[in-house]
């Protein structure tokens, strides 16, 4: 099946970088791109005239939300409320439970993957909150995510999250980590099992990766074993670290070391390493941003920083700065991390934060952010056939609508989208030549019914915070509405 799409704008790829084509065609056959540029004269099985639209490489989300959401509940709370978002020491010591059944978890994966497809994400590395589980993820969870993704047609680099410790609030109110090393070893065994499963599946959309939880919940032994496994299987490893000052303090207290020193000590720095956030380091003079030396070390080790601008901002933090990391030679890719999985908004917010942090209007440029969402991520995954629209590359693309009256006028199409658009302007998502989302719909999915079911599960998830809270507060006390409910005292 050979398809030609024609649009006012296409972001192609020539001589090592993206280029803009005006009034152009893209032609693909099966999963491969045949042609990008002037009107195709050869045969096609179908031709779609898209008019006022931009055809872009599909977005690569390396911290892609694989559950319903939590930022809606926890990105605005004061410290006493925030204590209620963690497990209490009591909860850790009582028989814990999964809030959702395996069947509900499968639904949640499909719901999350549908969101990603509709927001123009074509390749993903999943992330989900473990707070609702009795520990972390299992082999079955990872299979569920990869199957939900590939069933919808998305490309995933998946694996179960695993950890040997969990962040808790002690009875005294102090933040700490409590350990269960046996669960950590089981998690790693599940992760290995998934790597074998992914390799055996021979599904070109499913790839294995090692996705341990945050660094402060990993024992040094488990980190070393993860590094060994990653090297043996030659797969990427992603570990959240340099994420907050609480993490830095715990690691200093336990090991007298920085996160970066521990990555080095455990061999993780020698792996194909992805570090979401990487916001904090040792520069005490500058609010504990990473020092030049630390950025140099990340660059020398070819670490990919997974920058999640929207999530960082919503939790009151920022990369200091996007341009500074890049100038130091750090490969910066993008993630969404929490709802909404909107990389158009992410690029816009990130660019504006960079201006603020650097004090210059030309910081955080749209071209650099766009490369982060495409080429930088593809390079880190070792995929020179992703993140670019050129003959021979995978037909992974999104069509962004430029016709909406509210988008205003177009000068440069990408700047117009960043300024006035969002990922809701995604009209069509194609992965490996298959149309996975079209005009806001996904073949075979009833989005109205899914939205209702997600709301029900979200309400249950919200209620379940009470049993884990140190003070057993009711959901309405833990998550008070913006205004008093009318009619209540
Ligand atoms: Zn994250």
232-257 residue pLDDT tens? 999 999 999 999 999 999 999 999 99
CA 103 vs. chain centroid, Å, equals: 23
Q: How far is the CA of 338 from the centre of ligand 1 (A)?
A: 8
Distance 9 CA to ligand 1 centre (A): 33
DSSP 264-331: HHTTGGGS-EEEEB----SBGGGTTBPPHHHHHHHHHTTPEEEE-HHHHHHTT---TTHHHHHHTT-E
State in Å: Cα 275 to ligand 1 middle: 9
Cα of 386 vs centre of ligand 1, distance in Å, is 23
Residue list, CB under 5 A from ion ligand 1: 63, 276, 337
Ligand 1 centre from 334 Cα, in Å? Answer: 11
| CA 300 to ligand 1 centroid distance, Å | 23
User: pLDDT tens digits for 317-364?
Assistant: 999 999 999 999 999 999 999 999 999 999 999 999 999 999 999 999
| CA 454 to centroid of ligand 1, rounded, Å | 21
Ligand 1 centroid–CA 307 distance in Å is 9
What digits encode the pLDDT tens for the residues 398-440?
A: 999 999 999 999 999 999 999 999 999 999 999 999 999 999 9
Measure 317 CA to ligand 1 centroid, in angstroms: 13
| Span from the CA of 276 to the centroid of ligand 1 (angstroms) | 6
CA of 380 to the centre of ligand 1 (A): 17
Q: What is the pLDDT averaged over residues 467-479? A: 95
Cα torsion 133, 138, 141, 143 to 10°: value is: 180
402 Cα–ligand 1 center, Å? 31
pLDDT given at position 130: 85
What is d(CA 55, CA 20) in angstroms, rounded to the nearest whole number? 10
Cα-to-centroid distance, 186 and ligand 1 (Å) = 23
CA of 7 to the centre of ligand 1 (A): 35
- Where in the chain are the domains? 2-57+391-438, 59-380
Ligand 1 centroid distance, CA of 449 (Å): 28
Split at pLDDT 50, 70, 90, the class of 383 is very high
- Cβ neighbours around 79 below 10 Å, total: 7
Cα(207) to centroid(ligand 1), Å:
20
Q: Tell me, in angstroms, the distance from the centre of ligand 1 to residue 291's CA.
A: 22
> What pLDDT is recorded for position 199?
96
The CATH architecture assigned to 59-380 reads: Alpha-Beta Barrel (3.20)
C-alpha distance from residue 65 to each of 35, 115, 391 (Å): 33, 9, 31
Which string of DSSP letters, residue by residue, matches 87-122? Answer: EEHHHHHSPP--SS-HHHHHHHHHHHHHHHHHTTEE
Residue 92 pLDDT greater than 80, yes or no: yes
Ligand 1 centroid – CA 121 distance (Å): 16
Q: Taking Cα atoms as reference points, which of 287, 344, 284, 345 lies closest to residue 321?
A: 287
> What is the tens place of the pLDDT at every residue in 192-235?
999 999 999 999 999 999 999 999 999 999 999 999 999 999 99
Mean pLDDT across the chain: 97
341/61 Cα distance (integer angstroms): 8
For residues 232, 236, 239, 243, the Cα torsion angle rounded to the nearest 10 degrees is: 150
In the reported structure, the alpha carbon of residue 277 is separated from the centroid of ligand 1 by a whole-number distance in angstroms of 7
For the chain, report the end-to-end CA distance as a whole number of angstroms. 64
In sequence order, what are the beta bridge partners of 166? 178
pLDDT band for position 489 (50/70/90)?
confident
Q: State percent of the chain over pLDDT 70.
A: 100
Place of tokens 């993490």: 247
Give the distance (Å) from ligand 1 centre to CA of residue 247. 14
Rounded to the nearest whole angstrom, what is the distance from the C-alpha of residue 161 to the centroid of ligand 1?
Answer: 12
State in Å: Cα 215 to ligand 1 middle: 12
* Peptide bond between residue 340 and the one before it cis (omega within 30 degrees of 0): yes
CA of 128 to the centre of ligand 1 (A): 8
Cα 87 to ligand 1 centroid, rounded to whole Å: 18
Which of helix, strand or coil describes residue 452?
Answer: helix
CA of 337 to the centre of ligand 1 (A): 5
Q: Find the 127 Cα to ligand 1 centroid distance in Å.
A: 7
For the domain covering 2-57+391-438, report its CATH number.
Answer: 2.30.40.10
Instruction: State if pTM tops 0.75.
Output: yes
Q: How far is the CA of 312 from the centre of ligand 1 (A)?
A: 9
Confidence band of 488 (pLDDT split at 50, 70, 90): confident
DSSP H/E element including 455:
helix 447-463
Q: How far is the CA of 375 from the centre of ligand 1 (A)?
A: 20
Pairing of strands 434-438, 426-431: antiparallel
């Amino acid at each position: 099946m050979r398809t030609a799409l024609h649009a006012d704008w296409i972001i192609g790829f020539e001589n090592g970088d993206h280029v803009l084509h005006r009034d152009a065609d893209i032609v693909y056959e099966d999963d491969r791109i045949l042609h990008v540029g002037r009107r195709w004269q050869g045969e096609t099985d179908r031709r779609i005239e898209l008019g006022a639209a931009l055809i872009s490489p599909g977005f690569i989300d390396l911290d892609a939300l694989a559950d319903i959401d939590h930022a809606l509940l926890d990105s605005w709370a004061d410290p006493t409320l925030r204590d209620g978002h963690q497990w209490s020491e009591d909860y850790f010591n009582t028989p814990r439970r999964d809030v959702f059944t395996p069947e509900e978890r499968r639904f949640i994966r499909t719901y999350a993957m549908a969101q990603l497809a509709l927001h123009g994400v074509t390749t993903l590395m999943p992330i989900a909150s473990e707070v609702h589980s009795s520990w972390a993820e299992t082999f079955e969870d990872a299979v569920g995510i990869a199957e939900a993704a590939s069933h919808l047609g998305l490309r995933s680099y998946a694996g179960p999250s695993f950890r040997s410790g969990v962040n808790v609030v002690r009875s005294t109110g102090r933040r700490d980590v409590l350990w269960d090393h046996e669960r950590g070893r089981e998690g790693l065994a599940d992760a290995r099992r998934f790597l074998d499963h992914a390799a055996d599946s021979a599904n070109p959309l499913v790839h294995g990766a090692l996705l341990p939880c945050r660094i402060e919940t990993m024992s040094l032994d488990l980190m070393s074993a993860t590094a060994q496994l990653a090297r043996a299987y030659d797969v990427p490893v992603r570990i959240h670290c340099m994420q907050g000052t609480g993490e830095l303090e715990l690691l200093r207290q336990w090991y007298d070391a920085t996160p970066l020193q521990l990555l080095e000590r455990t061999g993780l720095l020698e792996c194909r390493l992805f570090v979401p956030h990487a916001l904090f380091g040792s520069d005490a003079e500058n609010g504990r941003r990473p020092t030049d030396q630390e950025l140099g070390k990340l660059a020398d080790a070819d670490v990919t920083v997974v920058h999640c601008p929207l999530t960082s901002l919503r939790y009151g933090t920022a990369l200091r700065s996007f341009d500074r990391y890049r100038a130091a030679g750090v490969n910066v890719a993008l993630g969404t991390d929490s709802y909404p999985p909107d990389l158009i908004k992410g690029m816009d917010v990130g660019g504006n934060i960079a201006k603020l942090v650097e004090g210059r209007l030309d910081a955080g440029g749209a071209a650099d952010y766009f490369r982060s969402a495409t080429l930088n991520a593809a390079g880190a995954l070792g995929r020179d056939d992703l993140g670019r629209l050129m003959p021979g590359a995978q037909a992974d693309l999104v069509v962004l609508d430029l016709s909406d009256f509210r988008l205003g006028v177009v000068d440069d199409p990408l700047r117009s989208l960043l300024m006035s658009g969002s990922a809701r302007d995604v009209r069509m998502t194609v992965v490996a030549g298959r149309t996975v989302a079209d005009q806001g719909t996904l073949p075979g999915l009833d989005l109205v019914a899914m939205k209702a079911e997600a709301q029900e599960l979200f309400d249950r998830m919200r209620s379940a915070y009470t049993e884990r809270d140190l003070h057993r507060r009711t959901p309405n006390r833990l998550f008070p509405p913006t205004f008093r409910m009318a009619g209540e005292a």
